[in-house]
């Protein structure tokens, strides 16, 4: 083993890391590994042979199978891949196995370094009911709620009704093992309690293998404010300010920013201290996020802790000037935090839009197809974290989030302008996306003014986008494109060359793909 120079004197030096993920986060981590002088190992399954992340790996391991269960979600397959490639450490990214305590434990037990928090912290925070209890003990404020326990075949209604009577309507049914909006349902009136419970429980079973659901009061007009924390193995815990992720659709975050327009320095300090208390209560290590709901009266309540790197981590990186993945790599080597709380800066304003493959005009149904064109913006203060490129195929096999467009500017107004401009330069053809929907939101008075609350998009009609130029201009352009034979000459030029992707629309990208 030849660890990178920067960690030669560390307690747990390592040389190579297997990234147990795909898409934009795998790309992000593999790039960081190269930058840090570490060997990056990527995995893929049968339908992901051309995944963009493989381009950034020094080694590639094929996990046999098409389904996630036997590949990206298989502890055994991943640990075997680590053994075969001589990996010293595993980074889980987000999603997949990142918050499975059993996986973290299995990684550690097989003698590998786990780039993440201790398995016990994951287990505790992953069980939303137990997490609530430990937060109450640590004096972190929690949302009024009640747990229920429904056995197989039991009528859930009596228990549900009792819990509902206690927390009141509207209420939220939440998967105990949940996250990302899966297994979560809003109930506005008693007669929908049973059907929504069944839907939540089914979704939770499908997504997390655990159908346990609990009942929580739905706070109206609240904002989703989360605090990024970081802890090392020497007992140091700091917070890296908040992110405002109030703009959500069906509990999926769409636009995130830092700092929050609703948080002043005093509140930031209070929430930061609460987040540190939460992390300390579970002996946390590494990067983590403590999510809070902030009421219109500026009271905050613990929502959950995500024991991993977040999708929206770049906005924190831009306003603090820190690299969270580098910090994770250092913490995993046992190196003490180089930064005290007072040294954490907050400079300018950062904002991120998530590009999803979904069609706003059909009520945001997932959209699939070949990526015929993907132009991404460049310029001062613009960052793109993407997991796809031209020539890739978007399928329903994986998460619909394709990329993130992130901007940094001196203040909130200029960040909104910059993100709007960056999104106007983001052109995706072949798959429908929410790009124009994001721009529409950015240009609303509410967003530009005080910012939004988490229920902002709920009451909004799904298709407000005026997507019709009535002059026939588009049809004229299409006719001209057809008559001039646009896009044809390129294809013809390369017809005889190796085009193993089987896509006729773009042989170019497949030619430039290189696999180690």
Partner 1 sequence: MKWKSDNSDKVWSVRLLMDGGRASVAQLKCGDETIQSNVTITYDKQSDNIYVNEDGNKLNPKISKVGDSWWITVSGQTFVVNKVLHNSKSTIEDQGGLTAPMPGIVRQVKVDIGQKVRKGQPLMVLEAMKMEHQIIAPQAGKIEVIHYHEGERVEMGSVLISISE
3-state secondary structure of 336: coil
Q: Does 202 bind partner 1 (CB under 8 A)?
A: yes
Q: Does 444 bind partner 1 (CB under 8 A)?
A: no
CA distances from 282 to 124, 140, 187, 276 (A): 7, 13, 32, 10
Q: Does 473 bind partner 1 (CB under 8 A)?
A: yes
Q: Between β-strands 252-258 and 237-249, what pairing exists: parallel, antiparallel or unpaired?
A: antiparallel
Q: Does 467 bind partner 1 (CB under 8 A)?
A: yes
Of all helices (H) and strands (E), which one includes residue 373? strand 373-375
Nearer to partner 1, 264 or 475 (CB): 475
CA angle 410, 30, 420 (to 5 degrees): 30
Q: Between β-strands 59-62 and 39-44, what pairing exists: parallel, antiparallel or unpaired?
A: parallel
Show contacts with partner 1 in window 228-287 (CB under 8 A). 250
Nearer to partner 1, 347 or 489 (CB): 489
Q: 201: number of CA atoms within 13 Å, CB side?
A: 19
End-to-end CA separation in angstroms for the chain: 21
Which of 24, 48, 196, 203 touches partner 1 (CB under 8 A)? 203
Q: Does 365 bind partner 1 (CB under 8 A)?
A: yes
Q: Does 362 bind partner 1 (CB under 8 A)?
A: yes
> Distance from CA of residue 473 to its chain's centroid?
38
Contact 433, 410 (CB under 8 A): no
Nearer to partner 1, 313 or 503 (CB): 503
Nearer to partner 1, 209 or 296 (CB): 209
Ramachandran quadrant class, 128 (left: phi over 0; alpha: psi -120 to 50; beta: rest): alpha
Least distance (Å) between residue 227 CB and partner 1: 27
Nearer to partner 1, 161 or 465 (CB): 465
From 318, 377, 313, select the one nearest 348 (Cα to Cα). Answer: 318
Show contacts with partner 1 in window 492-511 (CB under 8 A). 505
3-state secondary structure of 447: helix
Least distance (Å) between residue 429 CB and partner 1: 4
Q: Does 178 bind partner 1 (CB under 8 A)?
A: no
Tell me the C-alpha distance between 97 and 75, whole Å. 8
In this structure, how many other beta carbons lie within 10 angstroms of the beta carbon of residue 235?
A: 11
Of all helices (H) and strands (E), which one includes residue 272? helix 265-281
Which of 161, 162, 378, 477 touches partner 1 (CB under 8 A)? 477
Q: Which stretch binds partner 1 (CB under 8 A): 84-92, 231-239, 274-282, 476-484?
A: 476-484
Show contacts with partner 1 in window 130-149 (CB under 8 A). none
Least distance (Å) between residue 481 CB and partner 1: 5
CA angle 288, 291, 68 (to 5 degrees): 65
Q: Does 191 bind partner 1 (CB under 8 A)?
A: no
Q: Which stretch binds partner 1 (CB under 8 A): 97-105, 167-175, 407-415, 474-482?
A: 474-482
DSSP states of 37-78:
T-EEEEEE-TT-TT-GGGGG-SEEEEPP-SSSTTTTT-HHHH
Show contacts with partner 1 in window 204-223 (CB under 8 A). 206-207
How many amino acids of this chain bind partner 1 (CB under 8 A)?
A: 54
Contact 421, 367 (CB under 8 A): no
Which of 474, 492, 495, 497 touches partner 1 (CB under 8 A)? 474
Nearer to partner 1, 223 or 432 (CB): 432
Dihedral sign of CA atoms 410, 412, 413, 415 in order: positive
Nearer to partner 1, 237 or 371 (CB): 371
3-state secondary structure of 423: helix
Which of 487, 494, 499, 511 touches partner 1 (CB under 8 A)? 487
Q: Does 368 bind partner 1 (CB under 8 A)?
A: yes
The order of strands in the sheet holding 113-114 is 59-62, 39-44, 16-19, 89-91, 113-114
Q: Does 321 bind partner 1 (CB under 8 A)?
A: no
Q: Which stretch binds partner 1 (CB under 8 A): 286-294, 305-313, 325-333, 478-486?
A: 478-486
Nearer to partner 1, 272 or 370 (CB): 370
Which of 342, 411, 445, 468 touches partner 1 (CB under 8 A)? 468
Nearer to partner 1, 35 or 67 (CB): 67
Dihedral sign of CA atoms 364, 370, 372, 375 in order: positive
Q: Does 95 bind partner 1 (CB under 8 A)?
A: no
Helix H, strand E, coil C: the string for 274-309 is: HHHHHHHHCCCCEEEEEEEEECCCCCEEEEEEECCC
Q: Does 428 bind partner 1 (CB under 8 A)?
A: yes
Which of 149, 345, 396, 497 touches partner 1 (CB under 8 A)? 396
Nearer to partner 1, 190 or 366 (CB): 366
Q: Which residues bind partner 1 (CB under 8 A)?
A: 181-182, 199, 202-203, 206-207, 250, 361-362, 365-366, 368-370, 372-373, 375, 396, 399-400, 423-424, 427-430, 432, 435-436, 439, 467-484, 486-487, 489-490, 505
């Amino acid at each position: 083993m030849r660890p990178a120079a920067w960690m030669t004197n560390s307690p747990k030096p390592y040389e190579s890391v297997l990234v147990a993920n795909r898409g934009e986060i795998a790309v992000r981590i593999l790039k960081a590994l190269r930058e840090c002088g570490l060997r990056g190992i990527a995995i893929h399954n049968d339908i992901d042979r051309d995944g963009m992340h493989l381009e950034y790996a020094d080694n590639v391991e094929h996990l046999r199978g098409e389904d996630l269960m036997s590949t990206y979600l298989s502890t055994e397959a991943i640990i075997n891949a680590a053994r075969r490639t001589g990996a010293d450490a595993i980074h889980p990214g987000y999603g997949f196995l990142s918050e499975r305590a059993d996986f973290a434990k299995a990684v550690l037990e097989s003698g590998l370094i786990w780039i993440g928090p201790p398995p016990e912290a994951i287990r505790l925070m992953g069980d939303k009911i137990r997490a609530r209890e430990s937060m109450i003990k640590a004096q972190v404020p929690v949302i009024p709620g009640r747990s229920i326990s429904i056995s197989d075949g039991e009528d859930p209604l009596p228990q549900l009704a009792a819990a509902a009577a206690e927390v009141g309507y509207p209420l939220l049914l939440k998967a105990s093992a949940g996250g990302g909006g899966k297994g979560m349902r809003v109930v506005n009136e008693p007669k929908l309690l049973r059907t929504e419970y069944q839907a939540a429980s089914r979704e939770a079973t499908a997504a997390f293998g655990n159908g346990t659901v609990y009942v929580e009061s739905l706070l109206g007009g609240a904002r989703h404010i989360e605090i990024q924390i970081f802890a090392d193995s020497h007992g140091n815990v700091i917070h890296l300010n908040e992110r405002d992720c109030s703009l959500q659709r069906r509990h999926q975050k769409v636009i995130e920013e830092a700092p929050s327009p609703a948080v002043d320095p005093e509140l930031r300090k209070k929430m930061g201290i609460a987040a540190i208390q939460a992390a300390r209560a579970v002996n946390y290590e590494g990067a983590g996020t403590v999510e809070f709901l902030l009421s219109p009266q500026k009271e905050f309540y613990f929502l959950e802790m995500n024991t991993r790197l977040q999708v929206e981590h770049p906005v924190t990186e831009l306003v603090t000037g820190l690299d969270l993945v580098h910090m994770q790599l250092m913490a995993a080597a046992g190196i003490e935090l180089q930064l005290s709380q007072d040294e954490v800066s907050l400079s300018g304003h950062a904002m991120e839009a998530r590009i999803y493959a979904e069609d706003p005009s059909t009520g945001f149904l997932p959209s699939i197809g070949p990526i015929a064109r993907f132009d991404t913006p460049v310029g001062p203060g613009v960052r793109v974290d993407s997991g796809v490129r031209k020539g890739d195929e978007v399928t329903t096999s994986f998460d619909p989030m394709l990329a993130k467009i992130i901007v940094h500017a001196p203040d909130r107004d200029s960040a909104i302008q910059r993100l709007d401009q960056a999104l106007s330069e983001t052109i995706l053809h072949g798959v429908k996306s929410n790009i124009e929907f994001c721009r529409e939101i950015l240009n609303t008075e509410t967003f530009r003014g005080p910012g939004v609350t988490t229920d902002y998009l709920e009451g909004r009609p799904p298709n407000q986008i005026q997507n019709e130029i009535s002059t026939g201009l588009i049809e004229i352009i299409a006719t001209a494109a057809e008559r001039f034979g646009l896009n044809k000459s390129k294809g013809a030029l390369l017809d005889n060359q190796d085009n193993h992707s089987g896509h006729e629309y773009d042989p170019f990208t497949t030619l430039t793909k290189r696999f180690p």
